[in-house]
Amino acid sequence: MRKVLLILYSLFVAVALYAATYTPDNLPVPYLEDKTQYVSNPDGILSQDAVDSLNTWLGQMEERHGVQTVLAVVEHIDAADTYDFCMKLGLKYGIGSKEKNTGLIILLSTGDRAYTILTGRGLEGTLPDAICKRIENHQMLPALRESDWDEAMLATVRAITKYVDGDDSLVGDSDFEHNDGDGTALTLFLLFLAGALGLTIYAVWKDKRMKSYCPSCHQYKMKKIAGRTTKNKLLGIRSHHDTYQCTNCSFIKELHWDEDLHSTGGAAAAGGALGGSFFGSGGSGGFSGGSFGGGSFGGGGASGRF
Amino acid sequence: MKKIQSIFIAIMAVFSLSSCTYNKLVEQEEAVTRAWADVETQYQRRADLIPNIVNTVKGYAAHESETLEAVINARSKATQITIDPTNATPEQIAAFQAAQGEISQALGRLLAVSENYPDLKANEQFSELQAQLEGTENRIAESRRLYNETVQTYNVSVRRFPNNIWAMIFGFEKKAMFTAEAGAEKAPEVQF
């Protein structure tokens, strides 16, 4: 029994150890599930406060300047070095927009004591290698030496934001679906609702008007003088027999129409159904995952060890 | 008369097919030229960095003149070799690669030597130059990888049947790639 427990325990430890080593293929990228999450913190090295701040800042950076970032802090990586890891990650996901190539990857491996800032081809002008190095030397390194991982990442992103903000040529990409995605969906939905409501009102009005039409004097002055309703459970319909008389020429017309008991009425029902499904997709859009645009990385940026 | 007509149609059909192949080959050849231009740009970028690095190191380690000169010599030798990618032979590519490899080796030695000078290592400008150099080496590796990939796509189209017939007629030939070279082309290891 003891042996079994020991084996189980060692297995558990092995799995735990294995889980703490990441490859570009198994690194969790929360952005894909939730586009407000830029930080990959699978080992919980960063505090939740730091993660929240970083996500906010990186979100603003993407919104304002179209710079799409993945920031990862892990214990161990399984790659030649952090640069290699970042390049493979960039190649795998195509971080950044395809036209502007403004992707950014920041990786810190605390166990390997190594870090990399990798810039997409379109960011090499805003964040040249020397600037990346300067940011690393001045902002990241002092905190890393004290094992203050939160501060290292916060200071780095703060400094990068300053450089990115200072570059007027970097503008937020209006094509980024998540920037105006929610707004567009909401507007479309409201427009659709208004349209469905209008159609329903028009259908009711038209129906009423047709009923008041007098075939004899061609005026809309018929009034209902008698009505009788029969229900047919077998067919699932309700039959209406109404009698209308014209107030102008006293002409009498009989109206007979069947109502389908399974639906509550033409346009409104259709509108409701459509609106419902539309709202469904719009609702899921609120917290949906982000997508990477297919940006490419030429190898710019800077790496280092501490 | 009918025979002439059918022969004419057959010739037209063959030509419309071949023009499609031809255009594709032209496109792919252009992609190779572009990829090569990128490779050259990155090597040039490194060549442009060298004077700055040499001057910075000189300020701290003037008596390492041998190492410094090796870098300068390798640079001037390598910048003389230019290649036209449209008809580069494997030998030409190899010569280009060897010359650039010499720069890499000389730079590697220079960086190794600079480890002995704490003042130099602490110099901010030098640190940033090193980062630039490292980034450039990374870019070189990346552009070479892309070049090889583009050439491979092109070579496959040129050699595949029936493209190979048209490639032969229009004179599209297989192109040379970079080969992995043990040690010489490895980015110098920069330790901080």
ipTM score of complex: 0.74
Of A129, A132, A305, Cβ closest to residue B192? A305
Write down the pLDDT at residue A184.
67
Mean pLDDT of B92-108: 88
Closest C-alpha among B136, B126, B128 to residue B42: B136
Residue B186: which pLDDT band, with cuts at 50, 70 and 90? Answer: low
Confidence of residue B85 (pLDDT cuts 50, 70, 90): confident
Q: Given a cut of 70, is residue B129 above it in pLDDT?
A: yes
Domains assigned to chain B: 2-170 (1.20.1440.20)
Q: What is the mean pLDDT of chain B?
A: 83
Cross-chain CB nearest to B139 (options A133, A300, A305): A300
Mean of the pLDDT values across residues A151-159?
Answer: 94
Per-residue pLDDT at A16 exceeds 80:
no
Q: Cα–chain-centroid distance for residue A304?
A: 34
Measure CA A230 to chain center: 51
Q: Map tokens 């409701």 to a residue.
A: A272
Report the mean per-residue pLDDT for chain A.
Answer: 79
Tell which wins on pLDDT, A26 or A286. Answer: A26
Nearest CA-CA distance, residue A184 and chain B, Å: 39
Dist. CA A46–CA A156, nearest whole Å: 14
Q: How many CA atoms lie within 13 A of A182 on its CB side?
A: 12
Per-residue pLDDT of A99-153, as tens digits, reads 888 899 999 999 999 999 999 988 888 888 989 999 999 999 999 999 999 999 9
Q: Which is it for strands A114-119 and A103-109: parallel, antiparallel or unpaired? A: antiparallel
| pLDDT at residue A285, as a whole number | 40
The dihedrals phi and psi of A178, each to the nearest 5 degrees, come to -85, -15
A129 to B191: CB separation less than 8 angstroms, yes or no: no
- Are B144 and B178 contacting, i.e. CB atoms less than 8 angstroms apart? yes
Residue B130 neighbours by CB distance under 10 Å: 26
Nearest to A129 among B132, B143, B191 (CB): B132
**pLDDT at residue A177 tops 50:** no
pLDDT bracket for residue A221 (50, 70, 90): confident
Reported residue count of chain B is 192
Query: pLDDT-based confidence at A282, cuts 50/70/90?
Result: very low
Instruction: State whether B131 and A133 contact (CB < 8 Å).
Output: yes
Q: Would you say residue B184 has pLDDT above 70?
A: no
The pLDDT confidence band at residue A232, using thresholds 50, 70 and 90, is: confident
E-strand stretches of A75-202: 76-77, 103-109, 114-119
pTM over 0.90: no
Minimum Cα–Cα distance from A127: chain B residue = B132
Q: Which of A87-96, A183-192, A239-248 has the highest mean pLDDT?
A: A87-96
> Across residues B21-40, what is the average pLDDT?
88
